[in-house]
Chain A
């Protein structure tokens, strides 16, 4: 043999090449990637919350400026987009909850629909409590 490194079936030759755009092939894949991309919007809103707190530390003028900035068209559009993404995250998260964790009570598996319903109930209660505390003042 001329080439001592020669092997007949090198694993490298059988590697399938997947395009970077593999997730555009079907709606299911696209939905998966969109769901994963909500992570950016979740992080973005966490930063907005942080910004609000920092504005509060800077006194009444800082807080007024924060409220004013949020009224700009840029932030309104961005916040509307973020809201859609966060909502998508919340809904997919609730529906994945029973798949991520099975709950058993008395040896019987709690039905998936029950866990999803409990998530929605917790969501409703939490949202109501937050709105009540924030709007009371």
Chain B
């Protein structure tokens, strides 16, 4: 791991952690619990599509997905180091953790770009 990248990764970690802390609970409560359990009516396909078509909303969803992925990757990397004491596997752990976040970011960008 190049040392020059570390401050950047910590910045992504803390930006993603803030995004996840501020926005994930409400999204998860609505999408994961309130809509499926019928407490609140889920937005219709048309209204959600109309919403996501807006460039600012696309940017919002990109940030909402990408930054928390990097936050999770970074934190889980250190959890593996401390929890399982496997710091010697650094290269493998770093590749898997950040690789997953990079793939998720690319898929999110392509998906948001292709929304009809």
Contact = CB atoms under 8 A, between A and B. Distances in A.
B111 A50 contact: yes
Interface of B: 14, 16-18, 20-33, 35-37, 40-45, 47-52, 61, 64-66, 68-69, 71-76, 78-79, 82-85, 100-101, 104, 107-108, 111-112, 114-116
Tell me if B's interface is mostly helix, strand, loop or mixed: helix
A119 B18 CA distance: 10
Contact of B21 (A47, A49, A93): A93
Contacts of A63: 45, 48
A93 B17 contact: yes
A39 B79 contact: yes
How big is chain A's contact interface, by range?
35 or more
A57 B111 contact: yes
A126 B74 CA distance: 25
Name the residue among B32, B36, B65 with the largest chain A CB count within 10 angstroms.
B32
